[in-house]
Amino acid sequence: MNTVAIIQARTGSTRLPGKVLLTLAGEPMLAQVARRVQRSKRINTTVIATTDQPGDDAIVSLCDGLQIPYFRGSEADVLDRYYQAAKTFQGDVVVRITSDCPLIDPKIIDEVVAAFQKRRPKLDYLVTFQFPRGLDTEVFSFSALEQAWREDRNPAWREHATVFIYRNPDRFRIGELRCPRDLSHLRWTVDTSEDFELVRRIYEHFGHNHFGWLDVLATLEAHPDWSNLNRHVHQKTVSEK
């Protein structure tokens, strides 16, 4: 069973353009995300799925330099980009990661993949729940991805890849990996300059990227003012542009 992690990345983000190439601890944020995902023990291949737009040539150059496989596809139809990337790299199980999550934890990835594999084939899709935003990990079968790719006719849903799956629990077998306590109020993803400042401080504090999510939690508890940096930031919903 081939498990492929696909990290979606583009430079054309609306609120913080070029954020994936901003520097964290001496490396582009996308490189830090990829290195953390690659430390997962249950991932066979890590792929960057970027767009076919000229502006994302810089991402391809980064992938070449890091020797990380990549796939180029539609900018707007992220579902198609995921499907084509998974098909190209022959993924039986797909792990979805977004490039704006530089605190993603390989141990959580391993937990989600292990839980999915343990319950397969009785499960089509498994997602983290009540972890800090920015640790989000989705795992699903290629067959579920292919069904969504064939049947989803909503462009707004296709822009977010997996909406058709988790909004059709009557058609897909869905599971959750719950955080030991509800920490969903914590925002560890990067959509704005305030978000980036928070993760920049965290990386500067550690000086490397081998820390885990519990290390981050302890650091923020020791520096409660840091979480105020982006507490006001509103998370976009699927229907928003």
| pLDDT, position 237 | 63
| pLDDT, position 143 | 97
| pLDDT, position 91 | 97
Tokens of 78: 């992220």
CA distances from 231 to 13, 17, 40, 77, 134 (A): 20, 21, 29, 30, 14
* pLDDT(67) > 50: yes
| Average pLDDT, integer, range 127-153 | 98
| pLDDT, position 106 | 98
* pLDDT(241) > 50: no
Residue 72 dihedral angles phi and psi, to the nearest 5°: -115, 130
HEC letters along 49-91:
EEECCHHHHHHHHHHHHHCCCEEEECCCCHHHHHHHHHHHCCC
Q: Which residue spans within the chain are E strands per DSSP? A: 3-8, 23-24, 27-28, 45-51, 70-73, 93-98, 125-129, 138-141, 174-178
Q: Domain locations in the chain?
A: 3-229
Using CA atoms, how far apart are residues 46 and 117, in angstroms rounded to an integer? 18
Secondary structure class of 21 (helix, strand, coil): helix
Provide the 8-state DSSP code for 234.
P
Q: Candidates 3.40.50.300, 1.10.10.60, 3.40.228.10, 3.90.550.10; correct CATH number of 3-229? A: 3.90.550.10
| pLDDT, position 236 | 67
- At position 120, the amino acid (one-letter code) is R
* pLDDT(240) > 80: no
**Residues 154-205: tens digit of each pLDDT:** 999 999 999 999 999 999 999 999 999 999 999 999 999 999 999 999 999 9
Strand order in 93-98's β-sheet?
70-73, 45-51, 3-8, 93-98, 138-141, 125-129, 174-178
Tokens of 41: 């023990």
By mean pLDDT, which of 88-97, 161-170, 203-212, 225-234 is the weakest?
225-234
* pLDDT(75) > 60: yes
| pLDDT, position 226 | 96
* pLDDT(57) > 60: yes
Tokens of 198: 């928070």
| pLDDT, position 239 | 53
| Average pLDDT, integer, range 227-240 | 77
Q: Name the percent of the chain lying above pLDDT 90.
A: 92
| Average pLDDT, integer, range 14-35 | 95
